[in-house]
Amino acid sequence: MIKAAVPVLIGVALAVLVQLAAGPIIGPFAAKLLMDIGINVILAVSLNLVNGFTGQFSIGHAGFMAVGGYTAGCITYYGSFLLFGNTQVQPGWLSHGDLLFLGGCLAGAVVAAIAGIIVGLPSLRLRGDYLAIVTLGFGEILRVMLQRTGDVLGTADEVHKASVGTLATSLGGSLGFSGIPYYTDLFWIYTFVTITLVVALRLKFSSYGRAFLSVRENEIAAEAVGINTTRLKVRAFVLAAAFAGIAGGLFAHEVGTSLNPRELGFQKSFDIVIMVVLGGMGSVSGAVLAAIVLTLLPEALRSFSEFRMPIYALALILMMILRPQGILGLRELWELSWFPKRKTKPTEKAAA
């Protein structure tokens, strides 16, 4: 517990620093990019828990993001009406609005985790490609259901009169949920990025994480040595869903994003899958790297934006043919031998 708390605290301190020092210097555009990077890092690292660690192929990650985002957005938006009478951003650091937003994000994580159980329990008994199609189907079912929700209630009066059920189903329908106050800033994003990274890394280098990897390497062998593979798969799935829910909550409260069922469809899921695959299936730092590069690349390639996706797709195919394990594979950045020596360190050292 203490071992985990120290890096988290350092991370939080760094996040405060980023918010206070870097925020004003780099300007809103770069800050927005940094926030997008952070959200993508959370998404890629969490999907890596499922796709990389346990080797289950889930392509509905944006669905969990949508669950978390809508839950958090709904709580903050309607909660602001009920508590403050309007949806203005409450001033001050850790203001009541900030706390409401934090609560919304955590609630989003919980609801997304429940969604993860609902999808995971029945479908994780299935083999790889069926899971892919079921997660995809889940995303589509969710999209249709979100598109069928009612319009967002716009005035404090309406919100006060409406019942909880009405509020929970007034999510904007196919037009999307607009008007969510912008609470996400660099501090919140990088706090959650830190937590995600610490959880993922500590998981990977623990005996529990080894069990995850054993499921990926050979399910039958893992079962034979007494690992309950179904339980492990569901746990990885639920954990990943919870983090995706947080990422969705952060996304929902970010400046300039729209919470739209179509925006969070399978295109978004594929984007996250590409990050995991390019970075390396099972490498936390690889996923981080890929998330950074693939968030910045579209900005760099702005002038040929129409070629972005064909190039991504080709890169994905070539990667699978030439280097199927991704750029880093299972290794982490610091485990690479930068200067090739005769004696390569076995990875077990990191687990000790």
Partner 1 sequence: MTKFLQTLMDGIAVGSLYALIALGYTMVYGILQFINFAHSDIFVLGAWISYTIAVALGYAAATTSPPAWESLLIILAAMATCGAVGFTIERLAYRPLRKAPRLNVLITAIGVSLFLQNVGQLKWFFGTQPQRMPAVLDDRILGSLAGVQIHSVDLIGAATALGLMVVLDWLIFRTRLGRAMRAVSHDIAVASLMGINVDAVISFTFVLGSSLAAAAGFLYAMKYPGLNQPAHATWVLLGLKAFVAAVIGGIGNIRGAMLGGILIGFIELFGAAYLSPHLRDIYVFSILILVLLVRPTGILGKPVAEKV
Contact residues toward partner 1 (CB under 8 A) are: 55, 57, 59, 122-123, 125-126, 128-130, 132-134, 136-138, 140-141, 144-145, 147-148, 220, 262, 265-267, 270, 273, 277, 281, 306-307, 309-310, 312-314, 316-317, 320-321, 324
DSSP state of 53: I
Residue with Cβ nearer partner 1 (5 or 144): 144
Is 303 or 344 the residue whose CB approaches partner 1 more closely? 303
CB of 277 to partner 1, least distance (A): 6
CB-based contact 344:337 (threshold 8 Å) = yes
Q: From the CB of 69, what's the least distance to partner 1, in Å? A: 18
Least Cβ distance, residue 349 to partner 1 (angstroms): 27
Question: What's the start-to-end Cα distance of the chain, in Å?
Answer: 17
Token pair for 124: 């994780």
One DSSP character per residue, 305-318 reads GGGHHHHHHHHHHH
Residue 90: both structure tokens together: 């409450």
- Which residues fall within 8 angstroms of residue 99, CB to CB, at 6 or more apart? none
Nearest to 164 by CA among 96, 84, 104, 74: 74
25 or 220, CB closer to partner 1?
A: 220
Q: Supply the minimum distance, in Å, between the C-beta of residue 313 and partner 1.
A: 4
| Contacts for 253 with CB less than 8 Å, ≥ 6 apart | 72, 73, 76, 101, 104, 180, 181, 182, 183, 184
- Pick the closer one to partner 1 by CB: 56 or 71: 56
Q: Which is nearer to partner 1, 158 or 263 (CB)?
A: 263
Q: How far is the CB of 322 from partner 1 (least distance, A)?
A: 9
Q: Which is nearer to partner 1, 66 or 277 (CB)?
A: 277
Phi then psi for 323, rounded to 5 degrees?
-145, 80
Spatial neighbors of 53 by CB under 8 A, at least 6 apart, are: 203, 204, 209, 212, 213, 216, 236, 282
Shortest spacing between CB 109 and partner 1, in angstroms: 24
